[in-house]
Amino acid sequence: MTKYKPKRAPGEWALMESFVKDACSLAAPHTAYTASMLLTVTSAFALWCVTNQGWPLQTDVVFSRLAIDLYCTQKNSPLSEGTRRNYRAILMRVSEVVAPEEHPEAMTPLARKRVAPPYTSKEMEEFSHWARGQVTDEKRRRAMLMLVLCAGAGLRPSDVSTIYPDDVLVDDAGIILTIHGTTPRIVPLLRPWEEWMVAILQQVPDDVPLWGPTNTVRASNLLSNFTQYTVGQRPRSDRLRATWIVAHLRAGTRIKDLTAALGVEKFENLPRYLEHVPAPDIASYRAQLRGAVNQ
């Protein structure tokens, strides 16, 4: 804790360093979180309270439930619900230790059973411009690859860095990807992304992953770590994956085939994705169900 300093520490950090470290030191023995995690989340939160909100550096203000609620529901609204829940849990645990009197009100619910919404066609078109508009060749290739693999094949960030050129088969029937790791499977690439994949294959040597070398410790953070240093409005990998799922549901892909491509045995969130699939008109509904089963 004594050596910790935010990577992008503003001038205000010197004034609040002892405040943040004292709070984390008191809370650390009463939590299961590492000192690094406590300091990272708490320092970002405290800096927001003071620099963005102009609040005084007082325990009953900074670690109030209201401040934590605003930070997790408004300031970090672009982040996934899972990330915001983690932030809230960490900050609430610190608050319970250093400001136990600040816990009378109920918090704004963070729904646990929602899924990331898919992107619209217009948003995906904008992300295509985002990928092509990056300032270096490497960033353009990685941005394109992120869209290809997540929106075109529904891959998770942990899958992206494992794809080598020889895992990509291009033939007259399209392109298929062989996924290794904990959920090995074969995933056909959606047709609109085939041209980009062919272009990417021409840019990368056969003996390195398509993504290239990476020093990311947690594979799940690969894409978020990359996009934070890109220019323009950046996409989220979970929403790109949701876009791919909903595209297949709208196209009528069989659920058994879709779960195989997803690398899951049970499609537990299916009803929540179906909320984004428009209901057919009555004529289409009747025709499809009438002809679906051969007697």
- What is residue 15's predicted lDDT score, i.e. its pLDDT? 84
- What is residue 1's predicted lDDT score, i.e. its pLDDT? 74
Contact 79, 63 (CB under 8 A): no
pTM higher than 0.75 for the full model?
A: no
* Banded pLDDT at 73 (limits 50, 70, 90): confident
> Could you tell me what percent of the chain has a pLDDT over 70?
93
Structure tokens at 72: 């997790």
* Banded pLDDT at 125 (limits 50, 70, 90): very high
Ordered by start, the domain boundaries in the chain are: 13-98, 123-274
Contact 181, 162 (CB under 8 A): yes
Strands (E), 127-272: 168-171, 174-179, 185-188
- Please check the confidence at residue 112 and state whether its pLDDT lies above 80: no
Angstrom distance (rounded) from CA 154 to CA 122: 19
Per-residue pLDDT reduced to its tens digit, 197-243: 999 999 999 889 999 887 766 777 889 989 999 999 999 999 999 99
Q: Please state the CATH superfamily assignment of the domain spanning residues 123-274 in this structure.
A: Intergrase catalytic core (1.10.443.10)
